[in-house]
Amino acid sequence: MKRKILVICLIIIMVFCTHVAIVCAATKSELQNESKDIQNKISQTKDEISEVQSQLTGTLEQIQNLNAQITDYENQIDDLNDEIDELEDSISDAEVKLNEAQEKYDKQEELLKERLVAMYEAGETTYLDVLLSSADLIDFISKYYMISEIAEYDSDLLDQMEKNKNEIQIAKENLETSKEQVEAVKQSKQATANSLKVSQTTKQEYVNQLSEDEKALEEDLEQFKKDQQEIQNQLAVIAAQEAKNKGTTYITTGEPSSYGYIFPVAGLSKANINNKNYPSYPGHTGTDVNINVVGKSVVAVKSGTVEISTALRNSSGSYRSYGEYVVVNHHDGTMTLYAHMLSGSRTVSVGQSVSQGQVLGTVGSTGNSTGPHLHFEVRINGKAVNPLPYLP
């Protein structure tokens, strides 16, 4: 009996071990298959990235370079328009001051003429005659002070006339200088506009050479450029309004290090930026934080107010350009932009106040993106500047 029980136990143990071995083998096989799948996905992703990069070579690369050049020319024209506006304002101020000085001078000249007529009508009468005709000492003193007042008035009048005459001359010179500067800036603007037209014509020639697939990619690039310009204009209006409220023409800025930013991805640093050149390629208006970023939180580099929190989508519903993005106004002359965030991860809305380090969303790859990364920008008066000096 005991022998039978022992045999049964041995059989049970053997069955159990065999089952465990089979399960382990199956689990190991599954893990190996999953590992292969992951490697295949990684390879596939790399291939897709390489394919996109190869599509951006040749003609499309030329178009991208021309897009950057066109944007640069458009920004130059905007700057020149601002300069023309400032000069025309200074001309208006100079004309007002010139008219005021001329009016003062005309009034003083009229008074001087009246004084000369009065002196002529008095004939040979002199101040000495007036004093000698005094009836007594009190009358003498009274006439003396009266003559002193008249003489002082005449002297002040002549001094004021000379001063106003100089002011008129200076105002005229400033006016002429400003007018000459306006003409020079307008000529520069025209030259830039001509260069812009040449670049646009050249770009169109390249576009005409593209295949249908390439044209689709070119349209994406063109849409991205339009979105960037629209955002730039929107932020420029916000900055101009803020500057107006502060009583300044433009928001002034100090050294980048003085702004006290933290890094825009929680737990990471500049070491997580693969390409630290600016721009890393033509037309790129920010820097990409793209090393070990999956699942990381995007945070406000400094406290401020959310100006934009939205997603750019095509009519089909697919993401384009910046995808899910946020713009924060720090009210110190700078705004920061955080783009390509994970779908549905934005945690802030327009008008909301945010503190430094507050989570805005999660790193993703929405929009014009080939892989998970945060596209980060610093903008002054709506225009993008090199963000790297602002980061710790």
The confidence score (pLDDT) of residue 123 equals: 52
pLDDT score at 12 = 44
- Please give the full DSSP string across 157-172, using - where no structure is assigned: HHHHHHHHHHHHHHHH
Closest Cα to residue 89, out of 190, 174, 165?
A: 174
User: Which residue range is the domain that position 14 belongs to?
Assistant: 1-31
- Asked whether residue 47 is assigned to any structural domain, the reply reads no
Rounded to an integer, what distance in angstroms lies between the CA atom of residue 127 and that of residue 130? 5
Contact, 288 vs 356, CB < 8 A?
Answer: no
Asked whether the predicted pLDDT for residue 18 surpasses 60, the reply is: no
- Mean pLDDT computed over every residue of the chain: 78
Confidence of residue 390 (pLDDT cuts 50, 70, 90): very high
In a domain, 346, yes or no: yes
Q: Could you tell me if 356 and 290 lie in one domain?
A: yes
Kindly state the average pLDDT of the residues 121-128: 54
Confidence of residue 59 (pLDDT cuts 50, 70, 90): confident
First vs last C-alpha separation in the chain: 81
One domain for residues 105 and 26: no
Determine the residue type at 124.
Answer: E
Q: So what's the pLDDT on residue 221?
A: 75
Q: What is the CATH number of the domain that holds 327?
A: 2.70.70.10
CA gyration radius, the chain: 39
Confirm whether 37 is domain-assigned.
no
Average pLDDT, stretch 166-176? 77
Total number of domains in the chain: 3
Q: In this model, does residue 5 exceed pLDDT 60?
A: no
pLDDT band at 17 (very low <50, low <70, confident <90, very high): very low
The reply to whether 70 falls in a domain is: no
Tell me which of 209 and 360 has the higher pLDDT.
360
- The burial of 316, by beta-carbon neighbours within 10 Å (0-12 exposed, 13-18 middle, 19 or more buried), is given as exposed
Q: Are residues 100 and 27 in the same domain?
A: no
Q: Can you say whether residue 340 is alpha, beta or left, with left for phi > 0 and alpha for psi between -120 and 50 degrees?
A: left
**162 and 99 in a common domain:** yes
- What is the three-class DSSP state of 227? helix
**Are residues 376 and 260 located together in one domain of the fold?**
yes
User: pLDDT > 70: what percent of the chain?
Assistant: 71
Q: Which of the two residues, 392 and 36, has the higher pLDDT score?
A: 392
What residues contact residue 106 under an 8 Å CB cut-off, 6+ apart? none
Cβ burial 63-96 (10 Å sphere, 16+ → b, else e): bbbbbbbbbbbbebbbebebbbebbeebbeebee
pLDDT-based confidence at 85, cuts 50/70/90? confident
Distances (CA, A) of 14 to 11, 25, 27: 5, 16, 20
64 neighbors 282 (Cβ within 8 angstroms): yes
Q: Which of 6-15, 135-144, 165-174 has the lowest mean pLDDT?
A: 6-15
Question: 379 and 292: one domain?
Answer: yes
Sequence-distant (6+) residues with CB within 8 A of 351 are 305, 306
Residues 260 and 382 in one domain: yes
210-221 average pLDDT score: 77
123 versus 61: the higher-pLDDT residue is 61
**Distance of alpha carbon 350 from alpha carbon 337, whole angstroms:** 13
Kindly state whether residues 141 and 262 are assigned to the same domain: no
Triad 345, 348, 351: Cα angle to 5°:
155
pLDDT exceeds 90 at position 273: yes
In a domain, 58, yes or no: no
* DSSP state at residue 280: S
Q: pLDDT category, 72, cuts 50, 70, 90? A: confident
Asked if residue 182 and residue 286 are part of one domain, the reply reads: no
Buried b (16+ CB within 10 A) or exposed e, 184-212: ebeeebeebeebbeebeeebeebbeebee
Pick the last residue of a domain from 192, 210, 242.
192
Domain boundary among 177, 192, 207: 192
Q: Verify that 374 and 269 share a domain, yes or no.
A: yes
Q: Both 274 and 339 in a single domain?
A: yes
- 153, 177, 192 - which closes a domain: 192
Asked if the structure places residue 263 within a domain, the reply is yes
Cα torsion for 125, 128, 132, 136, to the nearest 10°? 120
345 vs 165, higher pLDDT = 345
Alpha-carbon distance of 261 to 278, in angstroms, equals 19
Model confidence at 305: pLDDT above 70: yes
Same domain, yes or no: 272 and 349: yes
Predicted confidence band at 291 (pLDDT cuts at 50, 70, 90)? very high
In a domain, 210, yes or no: no
Q: What is the pLDDT of residue 24?
A: 43
DSSP designation for 283: T
Please tell me which residue, 294 or 83, carries the higher pLDDT value: 294
What is the structure's pLDDT at 253? 65
> What pLDDT, on a 0 to 100 scale, did the predictor assign at position 309?
97
Task: Write out pLDDT tens, residues 322-356.
Answer: 999 999 999 988 999 999 999 999 999 999 999 99
Instruction: Say if 281 falls within a structural domain.
Output: yes
Query: What distance in Å separates the CA atoms of residue 253 and residue 245, rounded to the nearest whole number?
Result: 17
Bridge partners (DSSP) listed for residue 362: 297
